[in-house]
Amino acid sequence: MSNFRINKKSKKSKARVGGLYTKHGVVKTPFFLPIATRGSVKTVTPEELQDLGAEIILTNTYHLYLRPSLSVIKKARGLHQFMHWSGPILTDSGGYQVFSLAKSRKINEKGVEFHDNLSGQKHLLTPEKAIEIQKTLGSDIMMVLDECTPYPCPKSYAKKSVELTTRWAKRCRTKYQELRTKNNVSRDSKFKVQSSWLLFGIVQGSVYKDLRLKSASDLIILDFDGYAVGGLAVGEPVAKMYEVLDWVLSSLPVDKPRYLMGVGKPEQIVEAVKKGIDMFDCVIPTRNARHALLYKFKIQSPKFKMEVQNSKFYEEIHIKQAKYASDMRPLDPHCDCYTCQNYSRAYLRHLFMGGEPLALRLATIHNLRFFLQLMYRLRIFIKNGKL
């Protein structure tokens, strides 16, 4: 029995709604993962995340391995207990740091050598070690170690990178199976799924169609629990990102979850859902909140669907602008988050202009609610045949 079930497919697009079954609960798809890189979504408690509607979060293997360290997390009996989060956790393998820390790492067949920028200590992150770390963290969904290529990227380099990523994926799969056998992991009677922890492959290949299709084909043979599309939203034109998605999604199994890593803007999420993506993560809602950029739906449901189609269903509010200095309206009178229910635009602007930490907290709460509410509405529209 699969860990992923599709409950309804759209007749207007390739969108679908379903459920992803994990040891720590069922996540309704399509969904958005708030990013808790170091075991924390900045300024927001795990309890507040649940109240906002988050069912699953993303944490980062690389950062948690360095600090607080695996010994600390072991003592806490896993990341769930350490950060007091009861829902599912997806852990990034550290592959993105291979991309973002290009000046301080070396890639070879074994894995990635890098230096801790604080202690100066040298580390080697291998595919096997990435899986072992994620197992120690208690991840519900593990990601294979991959190399995320930059944009632009010569095809010769992208080809070598894809081949390396595939070899690493095979090693991750072998280690994963070894740990499952060692821990006697089998069907979970509560959720009736195949495994209490899942492993996803990551399709790479830059913007080259043949490389993307080869990457997908090689990973499908390994029969992962789900498939991510990586190496996008790294500087390429949005139109090219959509084109790459079309190539890849046409070749991936329809009965496995699809994860678009690092995306994105609200209109990009809508477009990707229509193409058949089930999972998203991005720093946009939290990072932009800390920079005083907030989101608001223009039209409330049920008319919201009309605006989704032309990508103008929301507006960006730059709350530091002088026009909000005496604006006593809530940020969004229709939003049910704590921020909108209790504070005015004028007060939010006042907090930001004064450098008050509360500004970051209230803005983050609202932006997360916006993104999670967007996913809820998209699920409703698909179920009702409107998307």
| Whole-number pLDDT of residue 309 | 55
146 is catalytic: no
| Whole-number pLDDT of residue 186 | 54
- Whether residue 243 is found in the same domain as residue 367: no
- Whether residue 298 is found in the same domain as residue 323: yes
Question: CA separation (Å) from 307 to 45, 219, 295?
Answer: 32, 37, 15
- Whether residue 303 is found in the same domain as residue 269: no
| Whole-number pLDDT of residue 187 | 46
Last residue of a domain, one of 231, 266, 282: 282
pLDDT, mean of each 10-residue run, the chain (387 residues): 92 97 97 97 98 97 93 97 98 78 82 84 94 97 95 97 98 96 64 70 98 98 98 96 98 98 96 98 98 90 54 90 98 95 98 98 98 96 93
Residues 287, 131: Cα–Cα separation, whole Å? 28
- Whether residue 201 is found in the same domain as residue 337: no
- How many domains are contained in the chain? 2
| Whole-number pLDDT of residue 325 | 98
| Whole-number pLDDT of residue 301 | 54
- Whether residue 45 is found in the same domain as residue 70: yes
Question: Which of 140, 146, 218, 281 is labelled catalytic?
Answer: 281
Report the CATH number that the domain containing residue 195 is assigned in CATH.
3.20.20.105
- Whether residue 340 is found in the same domain as residue 361: yes
- Whether residue 143 is found in the same domain as residue 266: yes
Nearest partner of 144 among 173, 105, 181, 174, judged by Cα: 173
- Whether residue 237 is found in the same domain as residue 103: yes
Last residue of a domain, one of 253, 282, 311: 282
| Whole-number pLDDT of residue 193 | 46
* Angle subtended at Cα 61 by Cα 57 and Cα 66, rounded to the nearest 5 degrees: 125
- Whether residue 221 is found in the same domain as residue 87: yes
| Whole-number pLDDT of residue 308 | 58
- Whether residue 212 is found in the same domain as residue 295: no
Question: Which of 92, 225, 278, 332 is labelled catalytic?
Answer: 92
Beta pairing partners, 141:
90, 198
Residues 379, 143: Cα–Cα separation, whole Å? 25
- Whether residue 278 is found in the same domain as residue 294: no
Q: What is the residue range of 59's domain?
A: 4-282
DSSP-derived secondary structure letter, 69 = I
Residues 60, 97: Cα–Cα separation, whole Å? 9
Last residue of a domain, one of 247, 282, 317: 282
Place of tokens 């609610």: 369
Read off the pTM. 0.95
